[in-house]
Amino acid sequence: MKIVSINAGSSSLKFSLFEMKEEEVIATGLFERIGMDGSCYQIKYNGQVIQEEVELLSHTEAVKVLLDKLIVLEIIHSMDEIKGVGHRIVHGVDRYQDSVLINDKILHDLEDIKSFAPLHNPGAIMGIKAFKEVLPDVVSVGVFDTAFHQTMKEETFLYGVPYRWYQDYGVRKYGFHGTSHKYIALTMKDLLKKDNFKLISCHIGNGGSICAIDNMKCVDTSMGFTPLAGIMMGTRSGDVDPSIIPYVMEKEGKNASEIIDDLNKNSGVLGLSEYSNDLRDLVDACNEGNERAILTKNKYVRRIVDYIAQYYVLLNGADVIAFTAGVGENNIVIRREICEKLSCLGVKIDLDKNQTRGEIQKISTDDSSIAVYVIPANEELMIARETLKFMNR
Ligand code: ADP
């Protein structure tokens, strides 16, 4: 049975077509600049890459072109082969503890909560509506980045701010990357052949978050009310003292949203290094002796170690630390430096095994107190699995 995973933004639509339950990737691709000049698509299948500029005035047109191309390229024979579409939705506030079958009532509800993720949820809604229009009878499932974190206790998700901000406005920690952290927990369950373990999952890509997981449930996570909180990221600051905001507003004559924009887009590794947001470039610059790059790398590693240490105490120990996403899967230097700073907890990695990129690998030594793994992220597959659950009901 064929299922499509969709990650739609305001002007983009990323897809992966799976054969399920086999979990086989049939095709992947990206539609970009939807509604703008120069719109284009790329489809990868069978070792081939097809790309073309094509006018895409809306998400619906992108979906039509996608399905048409899948048929023309003989990836599918007819649209009827697609039985389910799973949509990544960044924010589900505290209304969605799990994935959901999308109907008109849910769509209305998603419109209602879109102000919680104004940069992300509207794109997902456009993607959902586009598929509903083109494939009205196909099962449509929403998979939320926040859902996995709904098991956090009140004392964890509340901020030390007036309680009525939570009651009246929903101000609390929600956490993100939940689909990825859940996938890591499930993969570790398969590898360890048990589910009663304590896991610190480190999703470190351009965005990044750390998650404390006990018995397959999220206990705490580093992102907060928005994905700006937590560790330092490629361009996001992570946690800062909020009083910085009015101070810099006055210094630079900017408004609050302009400063938040700076904290999202011009901070983190990019802002501190004034060099690059890409950890590959940063490590290269460190090797060339660039002092600011070294400072930035040290700060980046430090923030991740801070959270791992915090969660080690919260979980009352840990069985596994797992690294995933662009940096976690590929950056040998960053992984080594993080693990070296955890040596006081008895973490030891095998430097040869750590020379790995993009594949499942245990990188800790046999006498390490905590097992350390590299696990490639696969949110697309997780979305397809969640969608499949509804097909079987
Ligand atoms: P996003 O959060 O946007 O999905 P990614 O997970 O792709 O981001 O992570 C981007 C980061 O991953 C960059 O800092 C980049 O250095 C790193 N990265 C990606 N691929 C590689 C690679 N092959 N080798 C080293 N680093 C990589």
Please report where in the chains the tokens 């020379």 appear, as a residue: 355
Which residues, listed in sequence order, are joined to residue 28 by a DSSP beta bridge? 16, 44
Q: What is the mean pLDDT of residues 82-109?
A: 96
User: How remote is the CA of residue 224 from the centroid of ligand 1, in Å?
Assistant: 22
Cα(151) to ligand 1 centroid in Å equals 29
Atom of ligand 1 nearest to the CA of 234: 14
Measured by CA distance, the residue closest to atom 20 of ligand 1 is 326
Strands of the sheet containing 217-221, edge to edge, are: 217-221, 208-214, 198-204, 320-324, 371-374, 361-362
Q: How many alpha carbons lie under 13 Å from residue 291 in its C-beta half-sphere?
A: 0
- Whether the predicted pLDDT of 251 surpasses 80: yes
Res. 311: pLDDT tops 80: yes
> Of all protein residues, whose CA lies closest to atom 2 belonging to ligand 1?
206
Q: Which atom of ligand 1 is nearest to the CA of 282?
A: 16
Q: Which of 12, 209, 329, 357 to mutate to test the pocket of ligand 1 (most atoms within 8 A of CB)?
A: 329
283 CA to middle of ligand 1, Å? 13
Q: pLDDT by residue (tens digit) across 110-159?
A: 999 988 988 889 999 999 999 999 999 999 999 999 999 999 999 999 99
pLDDT of 158: 98
Q: How far apart are the first and last CA of the chain?
A: 15
pLDDT at 153: 98
Instruction: Report the residue among 331, 332, 355 best suited for mutation to probe ligand 1: largest number of ligand atoms under 8 A from its CB.
Output: 331
Give the mean pLDDT of 241-267. 97
Residue 118: the pLDDT is 84
DSSP codes, 230-271: SS--SS---S--TTHHHHHHHHHT--HHHHHHHHHHS-HHHH
Output the pLDDT for position 119: 83
Q: Which residue of 330, 356, 375 sits with most ligand 1 atoms within 8 Å of its CB, as the best mutation to test the pocket?
A: 330
Q: Of the residues 68, 112, 145, 352, which is catalytic?
A: 145
pLDDT average, residue stretch 281-309 = 98
Task: Report the C-alpha gap between 186 and 211 in whole angstroms.
Answer: 14
In angstroms, what is the span from residue 294 Cα to ligand 1's centroid? 19
Residue 307 pLDDT? 98
Question: What's this model's pTM, rounded to 2 decimal places?
Answer: 0.96
Residue nearest to atom 22 of ligand 1 (CA): 330
| Digit-coded pLDDT (tens) for 37-85 | 999 999 999 999 999 999 999 999 999 999 999 999 999 999 999 999 9
Q: What is the pLDDT of residues 340-385, one digit of tens each?
A: 999 999 999 999 999 999 999 999 999 999 999 999 999 999 999 9
- Counting ligand 1 atoms within 8 A of each CB, the residue from 14, 16, 278 with the most, and so the one to mutate, is 278
> What structural domains and CATH numbers belong to the chain?
2-144 (3.30.420.40), 193-379 (3.30.420.40)
Token pair recorded at residue 122: 């509207």
Give ligand 1 pocket residues (Cβ under 6 A). Answer: 205-207, 234, 278-280, 325-327, 330-331, 357
Ligand 1 atom having least distance to the Cα of 280: 16
Give yes or no for residue 108 having a pLDDT over 80: yes
Residue 8 three-state SS: strand
Query: Is there a catalytic annotation at residue 145?
Result: yes
Ligand 1 centroid, distance to 326 Cα (angstroms): 3
Q: If you measure from the C-alpha of residue 327 to the centroid of ligand 1, how many angstroms do you get, rounded to a whole number?
A: 5
**Cα separation of 326 and 54, whole Å?**
30
What percentage of the chain carries pLDDT values higher than 70?
100
pLDDT at 269 over 90: yes
**Separation of alpha carbons 139 and 117, rounded Å:** 25
pLDDT, the chain, mean: 97
Give the Å distance between the CA of 234 and the centre of ligand 1: 9
Contact (CB, 8 A) for 279 and 299 = no
- The pLDDT value recorded for residue 46 is 94
**Per-residue model confidence (pLDDT) at position 201:** 98
Nearest partner of 300 among 222, 237, 228, judged by Cα: 237
Q: Which amino acid appears at position 327 of this protein? A: V
The per-residue pLDDT for 120 is 87
pLDDT digits (tens, 9 = 90+) for 229-247: 999 999 999 999 999 999 9
**Location of structure tokens 């999202």:** 264
Tokens of 387: 């969608």
Minimal CA–CA distance to 383: which of 39, 85, 55?
Answer: 85
Per-residue confidence (pLDDT) for residue 310, from 0 to 100: 98
Q: Which atom of ligand 1 is nearest to the CA of 377?
A: 6
